[in-house]
Amino acid sequence: MRDFTIARRRMVEDQVIDRGVKDGRVIDAMLKVPRHKFVEEALEGKAYQDAPLPIGEKQTISQPYMVAFMSEALALDGSEKVLEIGTGSGYQAAVLALLAERVFSLERIPSLARRARKILDGCGFSKVNIRVADGTQGWQDMAPFDAIVVTAGAPEVPQDYLDQLAIGGRLVIPVGDRSSQVLLRITRTGAADYQEEQMLGCRFVPLIGRHGWKSENH
């Protein structure tokens, strides 16, 4: 069995630390999660490269830097309840599981949810809760959340996400058109008050659902 320890360490040094991620807990999590387990076996050798990779169903595992950046933007201390929109491969959820107390993840594609569940369990991340559902509506019966991270590009911020944030909670979400988005961090500062920050440009697969894009192409 191939040892990816050195490749993982180089990924963190070159793609995460050198690009400005400073949160020690995020860096440790990126060092611990075996990214190669979350891609298809044929792509294992590319798992630690500076790029997203296909995982089937027109979805991708995000670039390592983006996973680290978004995780740091959530400003987690280990006590939080976090909602992830778009389980995908399960990699981001695994990183979050090392950073938060409880992790809930929504995936609209059943085959991806099943595969992610199997990989997460096999890697010891069984505390991640996965539900197959329209992620654009959030997870109302488990709200409020201290942090919400969205791993797909939205045409606008769904109101359900804002409503399901706890006071002081942070929402990190890419918003824009299909070809490019801006990563936003929105902090709920009061019952009806929110503070928005623009963080960086990015490109994600589209957020599909009732409060997102209607399909892959529309």
Which residues are tagged catalytic?
62
CA angle in degrees (0–180, nearest 5) for 9-15-17: 75
Classify the C-alpha dihedral 196-137-83-89 as positive or negative.
Answer: negative
Residues 82/103, Cβ–Cβ less than 8 Å: yes
Contacts of 193 (CB under 8 A, 6+ apart): none
Q: How far apart are CA 86 and CA 84, in angstroms?
A: 6
Contacts of 218 (CB under 8 A, 6+ apart): none
Contacts of 87 (CB under 8 A, 6+ apart): 93, 105, 106, 107, 112, 113, 116, 130
Contacts of 62 (CB under 8 A, 6+ apart): 52, 70, 88, 91, 92, 151, 204
- State the burial class of residue 31 (Cβ atoms within 10 Å of its Cβ: 0-12, 13-18, 19+): middle
Instruction: Give the containing element (helix H, strand E) for 121.
Output: helix 110-122
